[in-house]
Amino acid sequence: MDDKIKNSNQRLKIIYLYKILLERTDESHIITMPEIISQLELYGITAARKALYEDIEALKTYGLDIISTRGNNSGYYVASREFELPELKLLADAVTSSRFLTEKKSRELLKKIEGLSSIYDGKQIQRQVFVADRVKAMNEKIYLSVDTIHRAIAERKQISFKYFDYDINKKKKYRDGIRICSPYALTWDDERYYLVAHYEKYPDKLTNFRVDRMESVEVIDVSAYEMPEDFNLSTYLNSTFSMFSGEAQDVKLRFDNSLINPVIDRFGKDITIIPDGDEHFTVRVKVKAESPFFGWLFQFGTKVQIVEPMDLKKKYREKLLEVILIRLLILRA
């Protein structure tokens, strides 16, 4: 190794010691003093034991949780880190299951997550992760779009972007022109990111955009349209059974008592539950009464009823009859 590089590395001895301890030790893997000296030599660094003892004490003072062991198995290991292995596995699972990340970006992030652990724990993370064959986003720059949107929200600025769909040949088909909107919030729904925004084409209601269908997202130097004072993201999302836009309305529902868990899962624990006899309860909710809402009700069969409003109750019955008729036709085919 070149003498200049050796001299430069020598000055960085404690930094390389820090790196070696983090990478090559954990509670199940200690490193001995001879092994530390050997590892430092790979970086062109020579070190005496006394100097290394002092460096290790300095790292302890800095806050690195280094444990010294004595006896036949004497050595050193890092006992705790910024992220423990179960937390890293959780992060790895989140990256792997995220459909908005491309396969390439998923692998890049997983590599970085592995780097937060020892090389031994990193192998455990590798073994539990399966990226191939998962349904992944095709928009490579989606994470950059998310970052740009967050910046626009923080600065209360509008954004411009192109919006596209896919045709049957899986080619991008852009919708008309450049779109401009005032971003209010990013939310996660059905394993995808959505932008909740004020869009001038539909000024009387909020509009949702799928972030993985947005391209060339830029912050523009125009103040965002003021967010309504009564806007509450949690309330808005609880009224939404899919991220398709629509008008929310007040609905009274009657459920069998056995459905209390899915009702709380859907609307939250703060919802008011009113007993209706010994075997039923009613709730009043604000929902977008469209196909996704009806689909959610269909799964409960006769254990749920729409009580009010009457026009929605009639519409639900018609939808239910359509489903029953289709099933009968399929059975007879």
Q: What is the pLDDT of residue 39?
A: 95
- Which comes out higher in pLDDT, residue 102 or 66? 66
Specify the CATH number of the domain 236-332.
3.30.70
User: Residue 45 and residue 52: Cα distance in Å, rounded?
Assistant: 12
The helix (H) or strand (E) run that includes residue 280 is strand 280-288
User: Residue 199 and residue 209: Cα distance in Å, rounded?
Assistant: 10
Banded pLDDT at 138 (limits 50, 70, 90) = low
Query: Residue 205 contacts by C-beta under 8 Å, 6 or more apart in sequence?
Result: 245, 247
- The answer to pTM > 0.85 is no
Banded pLDDT at 158 (limits 50, 70, 90) = very high
170-221 tens-digit pLDDT? 788 898 889 999 999 888 776 678 899 999 888 888 888 989 889 999 999 9
234-267 tens-digit pLDDT? 777 765 655 555 667 889 999 999 999 888 877 8
45-95 tens-digit pLDDT? 999 999 999 999 999 999 999 999 988 789 999 999 988 888 998 888 888
Under CATH, which architecture does the 3-80 domain have?
Orthogonal Bundle (1.10)
Specify the CATH number of the domain 142-228.
2.30.30
User: Residue 193 and residue 190: Cα distance in Å, rounded?
Assistant: 8
